[in-house]
């Protein structure tokens, strides 16, 4: 519905679309690295970043969706939620990512990669429907990280 000012009606309810689930850490809170943790997020990329600069570019170009708040550190598990706009939308690389240094552009490690088959070397495509939610659970094993994209 349009308002007199020509914009969208601020009272119009947009159906929620997104990704949610749980991140479980193998070995619990004791398994975390002792230092160098700056941020942890779940990130859904439309295209797998093949260089560190592509992470920031994907965010700036709105070709990635990510958890709006940093996930807690040194826990056994945590839930997360990402609202996805402009649906339906397809993501080819959905990960739990940890910033392990002060440089936001380069200091990222992928902790787990979503794969319906369990083969983290073969990420699964995730399609977020309009008004729908996809549940994705992650299992982070700090002793057995997935192949890194760059």
Domain residue limits, the chain: 18-140
**Residue 82: pLDDT over 90:** yes
CA-to-CA distance for 77 and 25, rounded, in angstroms? Answer: 6
DSSP string, 13-57: PPPP-EEEEEEEETTGGGGS-SS---EEEEEEESS--SSHHHHHH
Write the pLDDT tens digit of every residue in 21-54: 999 999 999 999 999 999 999 999 999 999 988 9
Write the pLDDT tens digit of every residue in 93-144: 999 999 999 998 889 999 999 999 999 999 999 999 999 999 999 999 999 9
CA-to-CA distance for 145 and 150, rounded, in angstroms? Answer: 14
CA-to-CA distance for 44 and 85, rounded, in angstroms? Answer: 12
Check if the beta carbon of residue 70 is closer than 8 Å to that of residue 40: yes
**Residue 5: pLDDT over 60:** no
Give every CB contact of residue 35 below 8 A, 6+ residues apart in sequence.
none
**Residue 1: pLDDT over 50:** no
Supply the pLDDT for residue 75.
98
Supply the pLDDT for residue 8.
56
**Residue 6: pLDDT over 90:** no
Closest by CA to 124, choosing from 90, 78, 83, 86, is 90
Supply the pLDDT for residue 9.
63
Closest by CA to 114, choosing from 44, 29, 41, is 44
Supply the pLDDT for residue 2.
43
Range 59-72 average pLDDT: 96
**Residue 14: pLDDT over 90:** no
């Amino acid at each position: 519905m349009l308002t007199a000012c020509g914009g969208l009606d601020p009272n119009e309810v947009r159906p929620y679309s997104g990704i949610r689930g749980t991140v479980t850490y193998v070995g619990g809170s004791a398994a975390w690295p002792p230092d160098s943790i700056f941020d942890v997020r779940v990130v859904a990329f439309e295209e797998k970043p093949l260089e560190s600069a592509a992470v920031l570019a994907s965010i700036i170009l709105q070709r990635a969706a990510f958890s709006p708040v940093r996930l807690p550190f040194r826990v056994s598990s945590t839930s997360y939620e990402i609202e996805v706009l402009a649906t339906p939308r397809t993501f080819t690389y959905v990960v739990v990512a940890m910033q392990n240094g002060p440089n936001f552009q380069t200091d990222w490690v992928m902790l787990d990669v979503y794969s319906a088959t369990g083969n983290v070397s073969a990420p699964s495509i995730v399609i977020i429907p309009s008004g729908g939610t996809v549940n994705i659970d992650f299992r982070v094993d700090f002793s057995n990280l997935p192949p890194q994209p760059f």
